Amino acid sequence: MAGVRLGELGALLGGELVGDAELTVSRIGPLDSADAQTISFLSNPRYQAQLASSKAGCVIVGPAMREAAVARGPALVCADPYLAFARLTQWWAARSRRAPVVGVHPSAVVEEGARIHATASIGALAFVAAGAEVGAGAVIGPQVHIGADAAVGEGTLLKPRVVLSEGCRIGARGIVHSGAVIGADGFGFAPARNEAGAWWEKIEQLGGVRIGDDVEIGANTCIDRGALEDTVLEDGVKLDNLVQIGHNVHVGAHTAFAGCVGVAGSARIGRHCTAGGGAIILGHLEICDHVHITAATVISRSIHKPGQYSGMFPFDDNASWEKNAATLRQLHTLRERLRAMEKALENKT
């Protein structure tokens, strides 16, 4: 794309530019593969070694790195270089991506009684059911499904092939990625039996899903509707791909879950929590604010104290693992043998 003057970027990001404001860059890239047309950044000191040798046309750094960066060449010194980088990517994307076409694509199917704001965009082959509402500037991608009486807030973006089921609501400035399903039935059944045998009787899920503002939901992630009341995601929640949120779950504001996290029904998660990839949170428990769960950890009871919690089985070469795993299955007896010996020793003294 066309080059951008460093002076313009300095003004945009509000940092101190050290170097020629007339120089231009035409891409953003990592330090190691950068060239003179690349603006790069250094936020993690771990990568400082890459700074000196980088061929970047400009590097965004924090005050602590000012000297090292300036010694190398043009630098943009920002209070928080990682945040400045995030803002730069946003500006860059807005500048380079084509704007969505306002209005309803002729191939889309919009049922009577759907209310679509004049500034919204409805993509090709999308479906919008009766009673649904699409807000100002919202962008509904091709092949998206919006169910009856569902609502999409101002400026929210539903990528191609999202499903927002009947009666479910998402607020403003949200992003939902392709394949996500919002509002499938929660997994609820009552055990039943008669002389012929036992079966599962369906509990119809009469609640919905209520999602706040500034929420991002990953590809093929599922958020089930509540059994009687709504499943809730508060403002600023961020979910990665292939995440499962069971019915009646409540996720507090600004909580973020990485890929493949599963949250069972009726769990109540606090604000500003995080969970690493593949973590599982069992149902009907409470997690307070500011709890951080390590990847692949299973949370099997409530947590009332902020902090980091872990439960990953340490991997090993297969032979060592097999020996340890075999012993693990007898851990309890090991403990008893130990106690027995402690007793025996005491008797000796």
Q: Give the nearer residue to a second copy in terms of CB position, either 78 or 120.
A: 78
Instruction: Output b/e per residue, 258-268; b: 16+ Cβ within 10 A.
Output: bbbbbbbbbbb
- Measured in residues, the chain has a length of 349
Min separation Cβ 141 and a second copy, Å: 8
Q: How far is CA 178 from CA 37, 155, 232, 241, 256, in A?
A: 33, 17, 20, 10, 19
Q: Rule CB under 8 A: is residue 204 a binding residue for a second copy?
A: yes
307 touching a second copy, by CB under 8 A: yes
Q: Which of 142, 154, 286, 288 touches a second copy by CB under 8 A?
A: 142
As measured in angstroms, the least distance from the Cβ of 73 to a second copy is 19
C-beta of residue 215 within 8 angstroms of C-beta of residue 233: yes
Q: Does 135 bind a second copy (CB under 8 A)?
A: no
Residue 198 is a binding residue for a second copy (CB under 8 A): yes
From CA 188, how far away is CA 194, in angstroms rounded?
A: 20
CB of 268 to a second copy, least distance (A): 13
- Displacement of CA 126 from its chain's centroid (Å): 25
Catalytic site residue from 247, 250, 272, 284:
247
Shortest Å distance, C-beta 70 to a second copy: 23
Applying the rule CB under 8 A, the residues between 234 and 253 that interact with a second copy are 236, 238, 240-242, 244, 246
Footprint on residues 1-60 left by a second copy (CB under 8 A): 28-30, 33
Residue 235 CB, shortest distance to a second copy, in Å, is 8
Burial tier of 124 (Cβ tally within 10 Å: 0-12, 13-18, 19+): middle
**Strand partners for 122:** 104, 140
DSSP structure class, residue 343: H
> Which residue lies nearer to a second copy by CB, 21 or 302?
302
Under 8 Å between Cβ of 218 and 236: no
Taking CB under 8 A as the criterion, the residue among 55, 220, 285, 288 binding a second copy is: 220
**CA-closest candidate to residue 278, choices 231, 240, 237:** 240
Query: What distance in Å separates the CA atoms of residue 182 and residue 198, rounded to the nearest whole number?
Result: 31
- 332 contacts a second copy (rule: CB under 8 A): yes
Give me the 268-287 binding string for a second copy, x by CB under 8 A, dash otherwise: ----x---xxx-x-x-----
Given candidates 25, 56, 138, 145, which one binds a second copy under the rule CB under 8 A?
145
* CA distances in angstroms from 189 to 36, 200, 205, listed in the order given: 62, 6, 10
Identify the residue among 4, 13, 69, 85 touching a second copy (CB under 8 A).
Answer: 85
Is 304 marked active-site?
no
Active site residues: 247
